[in-house]
Structures are given as C-alpha cells and as structure tokens.
Amino acid sequence: MGRLRNLLIPGVDKSLLLKDAVKTMPDLTRRRFISGGASLGALTLLTGCDVTDSFSAEEMLKQVSKFNDGVQAWMFNPDAMAPTFPESAITKPFPFNAYYSLDEAPEIEAKDWKLEVRGLVENKKSWTLEELYKLPQVKQVTRHICVEGWSAIGSWTGTPLRDFLKIVGADTRAKYVWFQCADKDGYNSPLDMRSALHAQTQMTFKFGDEILPRAYGFPMKIRVPTKLGFKNPKYVLSMEVTNDYKGGFWEDQGYNSFSGS
Amino acid sequence: MSSIAASDEQASTKAAAKATRAKVIQPAWVRALHWTNAFAMVLMIMSGWQIYNASPLFGFTFSSSITLGGWLGGGLLWHFAAMWLLMVNGLIYLALGLATGRFRKKLLPITREGVLADTKAALTGKLSHEDLTKYNYVQKLLYAGIIVVGIVIVLSGLAIWKPVQLQYLTAMFGGYEAARYVHFFCMAAIVAFMVVHVVLALLVPKSLRAMIVGR
C-alpha cells in the first residue's frame, strides 16, 4: 500500500483517480472490484488487519462457499417436494425481475427459436417450440424465492426436465446441465444433475395457464422450485449435459453456486 | 517434623488454590465462547443488514457504513461463513452450559417477585454488584432470554435458508415470509440486548474485567 501511495502524483485527488481507473475497467470486473473493496474496507475496520491479509479473507469466503455447496448437496433430498399452494395464493402481479429493465428483455420470435441440446446426450437434435409443446406437461403452483429475500407464488406449466433428459438420452451420471440464455450480456447457469432430475424441475412453457410471456422468459424457462430464483434461467437457448463446471452469470460474481432452498 | 511442615505447606497451598478458584467469576471456557460469540454475532448482524438492504421488510435500509460485504453477494458470503462459527460455538456453549450445570446454577430460578424487586432496585440505583459470581434477577432474565432468542434466530435462519429441505421448520414459523420477520425481530432483540449489555459492562468495569481475565 505504501508503495502504491508513492506512485500517486502529488496534487491529484486519489479518490478521483481511482474512480477514473475503475471507469476504464469492463463492467463485470468493475462490479467485483467494488464489491471486493467494500468488504475489504469493512473487514479492515473490524480487525485492523491490512489489505493484503484481507485478500486472503476473500479467498477464505470462496472456500467456505464451496464447502456450503457440499453441505447443501448432502442436505438435498430428491424426494422432498417444494410445498405447493392453491391457485388463490398466486401473487398478482407476479414481479418481473432481472438485472435489466423489461424494455431490455430478450424479444424472441417463436419461429426463429430452437432449443439446442449439447454435450453428453445421445440425440443432439435441436427442438422447435412446436415440437416441445407436444410433450406431456404438468402444472405446479410453487413459491419462487429470490436471492434478495423476497418471494412470490406463481403457476408454471411445462415438461419435467427429467422426462426430456430421458427422451434425448442424456447421461444422467454427468454432474451438470448447463443452460445458456438470450438475456443481454449472456446469462448462463449450471444446475447440478440431482436437482435437474428432481420431479418438480420443469421446462416451463406457460405461466398462469397462458403461453409464457416475454417478462417471464418466453419461449422457455427452467423452473427449479428447490433453488433460488437466479438458478431458474429464462429465455433459454441451449442446454448442455456436462461434467465440467462452466460457471454462471451470478455464480461467477459470488452468489453461492448450489443455492438450494 | 519435616513431614508435618510439608503437609502444612501442602494444606495451605490447597487452601490458597481453593480461594483462587473460588474467586474465578468467569471460567475460561465461558470467556472463550463469549468473545467468539460476540465476534460471530457482529459479523452475522452486519452481513445480515447487507442482505436485508437487498429487499427491505420495512421502509428503511441500513447505511452502507455499518454493513459488511459491499453488495448482496458479499453479504451472503459473510453470512453463510460466519454462521458456522456462530452455530458451532453456540452448540458448544449450550452443551457445556447444560453439562456443567452452569445454566441451572447461574440462571435459575427466575421468579416474578425477584425480577420486579431487582428491576425496582436497579432503576433507583440500589442494585448491588458486590458479588459478581451471582447474577441478579434482571440479569438472570436477560441472559436466559437472550439464549432463547439466540436459538430462535438460528432456527428461523435455517427456515429461511432451506424452506424446502427443512419445510417443517419453516412451517413452524408460519411459512417463509413469516420466518423472515421472526429472523429480523430476533436480530433487533439481540442488538437491543447488546447495547444495554455493553453500556452496563462499561458502568461496572470489574464485570468486563471478569469476562476478560476471569476474576
């Protein structure tokens, strides 16, 4: 830190200089940099240790989060169903939630869209929406819980993901199903195989008995009532069955990767 | 002759040791667990405020100068790391408190008359702090109460964290949304306790000393 201070030009406001430097960074880096800095600041206040020590605190937090992934996988009971609710309990209006405004939500033309299926599957053919709509569907009224803390009850209808994985001949011994989406900046998220095979995990085509509207992820979202909201990708373009941990939009920024509920 | 002197000496050492032991107000395990708990609690509360700010239950948020984590993701990392320290430490405390009989000896019985009399004495400035090994009735009530709040805040936290896997626990709190409020009010109770606790410890410095060096 001392060396860094000496490098600064006398008479130049340090905080302004820092602001300019931060502005030149790409968006994601900036977000992580700011978050890191702020938590470091708080830790320094608390323990009086210097900044180099606190970088290892961030490393420690990451390790604990990985440990928590393991604990949650251990706690996960494939037979435990998320509580279901009567239709009268549905939250109206159901909130639109994303890291962008509704105007910026992907606008997908049904006829141009195909679901790409990749990785450890026997049949890698892409699926049109028309083909997917022919698969048997089930409805669930469950609680969507956001990582922010709020929750809302919604009605989702679609094909259980495990049925689809069977149809495409997926290797269900693989570790993850990784989804890529059309959201701006490219949303993606990994889903551990045991959660993917849970009876209530669904390829969702309808919300409240109507074709899934743009706000909730048209043409297809993945509804996982045993996970926090950000693990329920919308505007899905492709799914890949894989043994590799490919990271995710929020997971890479520090949200716990398992995030089971 | 020499053997008598030796046994005399032994006896007096024993007596001295006993006297020293008697003077210990807070045993080492209580002190270690107390400060670990204090540290974990501060981390949990400050990171909890950060998480609260992402979706406030009430019409206010906590200033970023008193939250931990910098953003929601950072707050969550801290909260779900410090929870292990808080839970493991708390479980050891409960186990030892029950096993050694400390809870029974120090915190019980709590009588209505005792609490009323001691509250009155405290408010009129007549409550004695001569013997720190014995808690007065107000202390007994508050210390026993905060242990219960500590248990409820951990259980409501688990209910929010795992509303599917631990759905019976969540249902016990009246559902996910209700559990969030329970969790918040337990935090508020702990913060209020901490304020009073710290102020009183500073007003009776020898009690603070006892929690640091034991006597």
User: Residue B15: what pLDDT?
Assistant: 53
SS (H, E, C) chain B: CHHHHHHHHHHHHHHHHHHHHHHCCCCHHHHHHHHHHHHHHHHHHHHHHHHHHHCCCCCCCCCHHHCCCCCHHHHHHHHHHHHHHHHHHHHHHHHHHHHCCHHHHHHCCCCHHHHHHHHHHHHCCCCCCCCCCCCCHHHHHHHHHHHHHHHHHHHHHHHHHCCCCCHHHHHHCCCHHHHHHHHHHHHHHHHHHHHHHHHHHHHCHHHHHHHHHCC
Report how far residue B186's alpha carbon sits from residue A43's, in angstroms, rounded to the nearest whole number: 24
| pLDDT tens sequence across B66-84 | 999 999 999 999 999 999 9
Higher pLDDT, A135 or B119: A135
Report how far residue A61's alpha carbon sits from residue B9's, in angstroms, rounded to the nearest whole number: 55
Mean pLDDT confidence for A25-37: 45
Q: For chain B, which residues make up each domain, given as ranges?
A: 27-89, 101-215
Distance of residue A1 Cα from the nearest chain B Cα, in angstroms = 21
User: Residue B124: what pLDDT?
Assistant: 87
Report how far residue A114's alpha carbon sits from residue A219's, in angstroms, rounded to the nearest whole number: 10
User: Residue B128: what pLDDT?
Assistant: 80
Cβ separation A255–B76 shorter than 8 A: yes
In the DSSP assignment, the letter for residue A261 is -
Is A26's pLDDT higher than 60? no
Q: Per mean pLDDT, which range of A23-32, B15-24, B77-86, B183-192 is the poorest?
A: A23-32
Mean pLDDT confidence for B185-199: 97
| pLDDT tens sequence across A193-248 | 999 999 999 999 999 999 999 999 999 999 999 999 999 999 999 999 999 999 99
Cβ separation A261–B162 shorter than 8 A: yes
- The partner residue sitting opposite A42, judged by closest CB among B46, B51, B81, is B46
Please, which pLDDT band fits residue B129 given cuts at 50, 70 and 90? confident
User: How many beta carbons lie within 10 A of that of residue A138, not counting itself?
Assistant: 13
Please, which pLDDT band fits residue A4 given cuts at 50, 70 and 90? very low
Buried b (16+ CB within 10 A) or exposed e, A80-116: bbbbebeeeebeeebeebbeeeeeebbebeeeebbbe
Please, which pLDDT band fits residue B131 given cuts at 50, 70 and 90? confident
- Contacts A253 to B, Cβ<8 Å: 73
Please, which pLDDT band fits residue B166 given cuts at 50, 70 and 90? very high
- The partner residue sitting opposite B73, judged by closest CB among A254, A260, A261, is A254
User: Residue B10: what pLDDT?
Assistant: 58
Is any Cβ of chain A less than 8 angstroms from the Cβ of B165? yes
User: Residue A23: what pLDDT?
Assistant: 52
| pLDDT tens sequence across A144-181 | 999 999 999 999 999 999 999 999 999 999 999 999 99
Cβ separation A145–B176 shorter than 8 A: yes
- Contacts A54 to B, Cβ<8 Å: none
- The partner residue sitting opposite A256, judged by closest CB among B80, B167, B180, is B80
Is B21's pLDDT higher than 80? no
Is any Cβ of chain A less than 8 angstroms from the Cβ of B177? yes
Mean pLDDT confidence for A117-125: 98
Cβ separation B163–A261 shorter than 8 A: yes
Q: For chain A, which residues make up each domain, given as ranges?
A: 2-75, 87-253
Q: A87-253: what fold?
A: Sulfite Oxidase; Chain A, domain 2 (3.90.420)
Is A31's pLDDT higher than 60? no
Is A55's pLDDT higher than 70? no
Please, which pLDDT band fits residue B215 given cuts at 50, 70 and 90? confident
Query: Strand A176-181's sheet: what is its strand order?
Result: A127-128, A114-119, A236-242, A176-181, A188-192
